[in-house]
Structure 1
Amino acid sequence: MTPPYRPRVVDEELDELLPALAAVALEGAKGVGKTASAGRRAATVRQLDDPVQLALAAAEPARMLDGAPPVLIDEWQRVPAVWDLVRRAVDRGAPPGSFLLTGSAAPGDAPAHSGAGRIPTLRMRPLALAERGLGAPSVSLAALLRGDRRDLSGGTGLRLADYADEVVRSGFPGLRGLRGRAHRLQLDAYLSRLAERDVEEAGHRVRAPATLLRWLAAYAAATATTATFETIRRAATPGEGTEPSRATVQPYRDALERLFLLDPVPGWAPSRNRIARLALPPKHHLADPALAARLLGVDAGDLLAGREGGPPIPRDGVLLGALFESLVTLSVRVYAQAAEATVGHLRTKGGRQEVDLVVERAGRVVAIEVKLAQTVTDGDVRHLHWLADRLGDDLADAIVVTTGPDAYRRPDGVGVVPAALLGP
C-alpha cells in the first residue's frame, strides 16, 4: 500500500515558481520524494527510469517534450540531451509552467547541465522534522531572519528518545511506515544499490563495492565533524588490510556528491563582515542521518546507551550528538532554502570559536548552535555572543536548538528552541 502523501516545504516553492517560470528542476537523492511532489503538478509524465520510456527517449529525445503542460521528465539525467532540449524550448519562449525536470544525479558533464538563467534548480532533501507530522512548529526560521527578536513560545512532548528514533527512522518518505527488520533491510538495499549500481551509473566504475561502503562508513563516522579526507581515508580500513588509495577515494567522493548522498555544509565566509582566521573546511553530513546510523551498525537503543559504531573518528561528544546535529542540519537546510538563504558553519583556525550553523540571507545572519541537552548554560552560548560582537546589527538572531520541551528567550536574548518546534 502506498503511504499517504506528506506535504513538503518545497511544495510551496514549486507552486510559487511554476506559474512564473517555463521550466524548473527538482534534484536530490533517490527516495526523497521528488517524483511524488512533481507528479502532483504535472499533466504529462515521462519516467525515464522505465525501460520502455528510456529506450524511446534515447531514440528520439524530442518526443519527451510532447504533451499537455506541465510536462514532467523524471530522472532526466538518464538522457542528458533532454536538458538541452528543454533549455532550447525555454529560449524559444516556452510559456510558464511548461516543464518540470527531476533528477537524482547531477551529470559530471557540466555543459549538459548549463541551464543557468533558463532552468532554475531546487534541492529536495529527506523529510525535515517539520514535515514528519511530529507536531506544529512554533518558531519560523524565516521570521528569525527578519530580525524582529520576538518572544519565542511553544512546547513539544518529544524527548531525547524520540529524537534518537527519528535519527534512525529516516526522512525517506517510503521508509516511514516500516519498522524493525523490514526497515533495516530497506536501508541495506538502498546502500547496496548505491555501491553496486548507482555510482557506476553516475560515471564511476566500482571494482569493489565493499571498499566503497567501508569508505562511506568512515565518512558516516565523521558526521558533523571537519575531519580531513585523509583521516577518513585512513579510517576506512577493516584492520587486516590497507586503506583505499587516494586515487580510489576521489572518484567515490565525486560520484557520491553527484548522487546527492554526501551533503557537506561548507565553511561560512561572511558576505559583509571580515572575521579573521576563519577556517573553511566542510562539515561532513550524509543526505540522511539514518544512512549514517545504518552504516555504523547502530540503532536508537545503541545511541541512547552511548555506544559507538564503525571506524574511530575523533569527535566532540557522543555519536548521538553528531547524528542529532545532522538531523537538525537537514531540517535547517530545508527551511533555509524556502527562505532563499544559504547555510554554512563557522570555525576559526584552531577551533577556538565554532558555530554549528550560520544561515545568511542578504547579509543578515541567524546563528544556530545545536545541543543534545534539555537545558542551555552560559557556556553553550559563548560562541554566539562572540559572533554577535563581530557582526553587530547584521546578526538577525541567535538560537540554540535542543532536545528540551519549551521554546523561550534567555535574558541575554539568545533563543532556545526544541528541534521539533523549528520550522520554515
Structure 2
Amino acid sequence: MEPHRPYIDRIIDPILLELFATLPALMLTGPRATGKTTTAARLAESVLRFDKREQAAVFEADPDAALASFPEPILIDEWQLVPNVLGAVKRAVDADHRPGRFILTGSSRDQLDSQMWPGTGRIVQKSMTGLTRREIEGDPTRVPFIDRVAAEGHKAVAPSPTDLGLADYLDLALSGGFPEPLSYPPGLARDDWFASYINQLVTRDAQGLDGHRDPVRLRRFFTVLALTSAGIVTDKTLYDKAEVNRATAVAYQQLLEALFILYRVPAWSTNRLKRLTKAPKRYLADPALLCSAAGLDRIGIMRDADLLGRVIDTFVTAQLRGEVAACRTRPEFFHLRQEDGAHEVDLVIELADQRVIAVEIKADSTPTRKAARHLIWMRDALGDQFAHGLLLHTGPMATQMDERITAAPISAIWR
C-alpha cells in the first residue's frame, strides 16, 4: 500500500473556501497531476472520479438522477470525460442556488471556450498550477509577492541575503512542481516519471481530445516548444523546426493549450510606447518538462547558456503564475519587445488598477545597473503607471538600483 503523504497547503486553499461559502459551484482547472483532486476533495462530502469507468457509466446513463443520489458537496473529478454532467450541474444549480454544492476538476479546457458551454454564469472557474516553492518551503498564507510589490515596492523584498545560487535554482527547476515526483529523490525514478508524463501527454491525453493526431509528430512539436520556452519565436520558425505544416502546428498548439501544458504570454501594448512587437511568448507549464523533453540533465543545461536562460525564465514565471489565483490585484501577464530589439522586458504584469510591474529575469549573480536599463526606460516612459521594476537574479543580495527599480534574488518570491 502506498504510504500516506501529508497534505501540502496550497495558495489557492483560502480562495476556494471563500468562494465555496458564497457560490454553488466551482471548477478547478489545470494540468494533470498538479494536485487538483487532492485539494478539491478537502471541500467535498462525495468524490466522483470519472477516470473510473464504472462511475462514468452511471452518469452517462442518467446524469441528473446520478447527481441527486450523492451527499453534497460533490466533487466531480475529470468531468470532461462525461461532459453531459455539466448540464446536470447547471439544472441542479438553477433549481437550488445554495452555496457549496459542487466542485468540478478537469485537466482539459476542450469545451470551456465554447459559447454553448452550460456552465456560463453558474460555475466559477479558478486555475491551479503545480506546486510553487512558496507552497513547498514558505508560507502559502502570506500575501502574494505580486500584491506586496504593488503595495510596498522595494520594501516587499527581504534585505537578508540568500544562500541560493545558479546551480541551486537550476536544481529547483529540474525538480518541477508536480507533487508526486517531488516526493522522489533526484535520480532515475524522478526522471522516468517526467518521461512517462510526456509520453502519456502525446499519446493518451492528446488522443482523448483529438484521436487524429500523430503522437510521433506531436512529440517532435512538443520538444521544439520545450527548447523555445520563454522565447519569442515566429510561427513559421516553430513549425519548420518541428517539420510540420502550418495547419498541423496550429492544431498541436491548441491541443497543448487545451491540456494546460502550454500557455502564451501576449505582447503588451500601450500608446505611450512605439514599435512594439505583437508576437507572444510561449511557455511550458513546468520547467522540469522542458528539461525532460530536451533530454538534458543539470550538466548539459549548464553548458548551454541560451537554454539555461530559458529554464530559469520558465521556472520564475511558473512561480509568479502560481500565485495569481490568490492575488487581489488581479494581475495579467504580458511581455514587451520593440520591433528593432532596442528594448525588451521579460514580463509586464498589468494590475487591475492599470499599473504595471515590470520583471527582468537574469541568470546572473552580480547584475549591474546596465542590466536594469530596460526597466529604467520603461519607468521613464510610463511615469505613474509604472508601479515597480524587478530584476530577479541568481545572486545573494537585494539592492535598490534606482527609483522604483529593485534587483532581488529569485528566492525573494517565496522567502
The TM-score with structure 1 as length reference comes to 0.90
CA shift, 1:160, in A, is 1.2
Inter-CA distance 78–346: structure 2 relative to 1 (3 Å threshold): same
Query: Partner residue of 2:108?
Result: 105
Query: Partner residue of 2:200?
Result: 193
CA shift, 1:33, in A, is 0.8
Query: Partner residue of 2:309?
Result: 321
CA distance in 1, matches of 2:177, 2:107: 16
Query: Partner residue of 2:33?
Result: 31
Counterpart residue identity of residue 380, structure 1? A
CA shift, 1:149, in A, is 4.5
Alignment of structure 1 residues 39-58 onto 2, 5 Å: 39-58=41-60
In 1, are the aligned partners of 2:148 and 2:156 still within 8 Å (CA)? no
Query: Partner residue of 1:88?
Result: 91
Counterpart residue identity of residue 354, structure 1? E
CA shift, 1:41, in A, is 1.4
In 1, are the aligned partners of 2:144 and 2:323 still within 8 Å (CA)? no
Return the match for 1:117 from 110, 116, 121: 121
Inter-CA distance 34–419: structure 2 relative to 1 (3 Å threshold): same
CA distance in 2, matches of 1:155, 1:66: 57
Deviations for 1:362-421, whole angstroms, at most 9, x for unmatched residues? 202111111111222122111111111222111111111111223332244411221222
Alignment of structure 1 residues 387-398 onto 2, 5 Å: 387-398=378-389
Inter-CA distance 259–139: structure 2 relative to 1 (3 Å threshold): closer
Inter-CA distance 47–162: structure 2 relative to 1 (3 Å threshold): same
Q: Does 1:127 align with 2:127?
A: no
Return the match for 2:296 from 295, 298, 319: 298
Question: Which 10-residue stretch deviates more, 209-218 or 346-355?
Answer: 346-355
Counterpart residue identity of residue 249, structure 2? V
The structure 1 segments of at least 4 consecutive aligned residues displaced by more than 6 Å after TM superposition are 134-139
CA distance in 1, matches of 2:336, 2:137: 31
CA shift, 1:299, in A, is 1.0
Q: Does 1:226 align with 2:232?
A: yes
CA shift, 1:147, in A, is 5.0
Deviations for 1:74-131, whole angstroms, at most 9, x for unmatched residues? 1111111222322333333421111111000012471453533321211111112222
Return the match for 1:416 from 403, 407, 412: 407
CA distance in 1, matches of 2:397, 2:326: 25
Q: Does 1:158 align with 2:135?
A: no
Counterpart residue identity of residue 81, structure 1? N
The TM-score with structure 2 as length reference comes to 0.91
In 2, are the aligned partners of 1:204 and 1:251 still within 8 Å (CA)? no
CA distance in 2, matches of 1:283, 1:250: 15
Question: Which 10-residue stretch deviates more, 106-115 or 393-402?
Answer: 106-115
Inter-CA distance 151–295: structure 2 relative to 1 (3 Å threshold): closer
CA distance in 2, matches of 1:352, 1:170: 33
Deviations for 1:17-76, whole angstroms, at most 9, x for unmatched residues? 111111111101101110011111111111111111111111121213543332111111
Counterpart residue identity of residue 216, structure 1? F
CA distance in 2, matches of 1:66, 1:267: 48
Question: What is the DSSP-based 3-state SS (H/G/I as helix, E as strand, rest coil) of the residue aligned with 2:72?
Answer: coil
In 1, are the aligned partners of 2:401 and 2:407 still within 8 Å (CA)? yes
Inter-CA distance 138–164: structure 2 relative to 1 (3 Å threshold): farther
Question: What is the DSSP-based 3-state SS (H/G/I as helix, E as strand, rest coil) of the residue aligned with 1:398?
Answer: strand
Query: Partner residue of 1:287?
Result: 285
Q: CA RMSD in A?
A: 2.2
Question: What is the DSSP-based 3-state SS (H/G/I as helix, E as strand, rest coil) of the residue aligned with 1:356?
Answer: strand
CA distance in 2, matches of 1:64, 1:93: 13
Counterpart residue identity of residue 290, structure 2? A
Return the match for 1:15 from 14, 17, 22: 17
Structure 1: where are the runs of 5+ without partners?
237-242, 308-316
Q: Does 1:342 align with 2:340?
A: no
In 2, are the aligned partners of 1:364 and 1:394 still within 8 Å (CA)? yes
Structure 2: where are the runs of 5+ without partners?
none
Q: Does 1:177 align with 2:183?
A: yes
Counterpart residue identity of residue 127, structure 1? L
Q: Does 1:256 align with 2:256?
A: yes
Q: Does 1:368 align with 2:359?
A: yes
Query: Partner residue of 1:247?
Result: 247
In 2, are the aligned partners of 1:268 and 1:345 still within 8 Å (CA)? yes
Return the match for 2:151 from 135, 146, 149: 146
The percentage of aligned residue pairs carrying the same residue is: 35
* Number of equivalences: 405
Inter-CA distance 369–21: structure 2 relative to 1 (3 Å threshold): same
CA shift, 1:134, in A, is 6.5
CA distance in 2, matches of 1:330, 1:185: 22
In 1, are the aligned partners of 2:230 and 2:310 still within 8 Å (CA)? yes
CA distance in 1, matches of 2:414, 2:90: 34
Query: Partner residue of 2:209?
Result: 202
CA shift, 1:244, in A, is 1.9
Inter-CA distance 395–114: structure 2 relative to 1 (3 Å threshold): farther
Query: Partner residue of 1:313?
Result: none
